[in-house]
Every structure is written in C-alpha cells, then in structure tokens.
Structure 1
Amino acid sequence: MADITAYLYNKCGTCRKAKKWLEEQGIAYCEVPIVDTPPEKEQLRAYWQQSGLELKKFFNTSGQSYRELGLKDRLKDMSEEEMLDLLAADGKLIKRPLLVAEGKVTVGFKEEEMEKTWK
C-alpha cells in the first residue's frame, strides 16, 4: 500500500493516539501539520467524496474555531462550496486526524475503523 498522508496536529490527543496506532501496526505514513498546511479546497472535495461521509463530518465540532464562528447553527444553511472554503481556510476546523491514501479516507480516530481501513 502507498504511504498514508496523515494530517495531524501535535497538540491533539486523538492525533497522538492515531500516530501511536499506526506506528504499532508498522504502517508507514507521511505527517502533514494540518494547522500549518491544511488540505486545499479541491483536495478536501476529493477526500470528502472518497470518504462517503457527509461533509459536516469533516468539521471539528469541539474546536475553538468552530465555536467562534457559530457553525453549530450555521452549517445546516451553508452550501457545500461554503463549507469547503471554510475547511480549506482553517486547518483547526478540520476533524482530525485526517488520513488519506489511494482512495481511502478516515476522519477522526476509531480503532475499529482504522483496523478495517488501514490494515
């Protein structure tokens, strides 16, 4: 399998769990700091479409940026384009870890999903 691109934030406990899991499984990955280098809009569009998830699932709902922008109430009225623009503009809005490789995408860290997708 090609290396996984792992969009991570080093101050995120969930990201640290995902890194530890990948390392324990001997799975190679390329780490990209999601806050400094968030995926671009078209990358996000592709990841979202490959994931099969609702676009709303890509938002870090427990983050400060999400709360400051009042997105809890605003997302339901936003277009996909507006959501993608927001995500691409602020890496802290993206739920993490975001792991991608060869048409596979996982958002967040659930061990059973990681096993199913990346092993």
Structure 2
Amino acid sequence: MTVRLYGIRNCDSCRKARQWLTRTGIKHEFIDLRDTPVNREQLVAWREALGDDALINKRSQTWRAFDEQQREATRQDPIPVLIAHPTLIKRPILDAPPHTLAGFSAERYEAALAGAD
C-alpha cells in the first residue's frame, strides 16, 4: 500500500501524523503542499471522499483573512481557491487507498491503516 501524507512541514498536526506513522513502522511519503501543490484531479478526489467541510480548514489564518466575497467563492467552487491557497486545505491529508482522511487522529489512522506496512 502506498501511504502519502500531504501537509505543511511546520504544521504541528502534520508533525504528529508523521511521527505516528514512523513510530508504528508504516512507510510513507510526505508531500509538502507548499513545495508540491496538488492538482485539480487530486483535489476533486479528496472533495468527493471527504466533503467540503472536512477538506476546507475554516480555522486557518488563510480563511480568517478572506473577506466575505472570497469565502463565498470558496463555498461555491473550492477547487480553484484551494489550488491558489494550499494552506486552506485541512491537514494533514492521509491518502492511503482506499482511505482518505483529513486531520490527524491516531485512532482513525490505526483503523484505516490496519495491516499496512
């Protein structure tokens, strides 16, 4: 199984997720969203798997800095906004087919990755 973790290097939740994956011996690849932006197809797949509420980080500084017009544009069609503002993506995103998870929870990761190596 290919396990990919998407996030931002200095994000505390991403660090916790990476440490957990390493501690549990699960091989994974970390992709920094600032260095390697995700493409439209990947965002569409995440949106279908997670839904907008789980994908868009409305607690982020990016969201708080948006005016109401930018927020409404994000609600209408979040994909172009997420491409332009990757820090708006809730992180980390664990992509371990067939599972896609947003945010870090050791319990959820353990359940999704049972048997992964």
Aligned residues of 1:38 and 1:90 also touching (Cα < 8 A):
no
In structure 1, the gaps of 5 or more residues are: none
Gaps of 5+ in 2: none
TM-score w.r.t. length of structure 2? 0.84
- Pick aligned residue for 1:57 from 54, 58, 61: 54
Structure 1 residue aligned with 2:99, among 60, 84, 104? 104
Whole-angstrom CA distance in 2 between matches of 1:76 and 1:88: 13
For residues 1-119 of structure 1, the aligned pairs below 5 Å read: 2-49=1-48, 51=49, 53-70=50-67, 74-75=71-72, 78-79=75-76, 82-119=77-114
Superposition RMSD on alpha carbons, in Å? Answer: 2.1
Aligned length: 113
Question: Which contiguous aligned blocks of 4+ residues in structure 1 show a shift greater than 4 angstroms?
Answer: none
Paired with 1:93 and 1:77, the residues of 2 have a C-alpha distance of 10
Contact 1:5 1:32 in 2 (8 A): yes
Among all aligned residue pairs of Structure 1 and Structure 2, give the percentage whose two residues are the same amino acid.
31
Q: CA deviation at 1:48?
A: 2.3
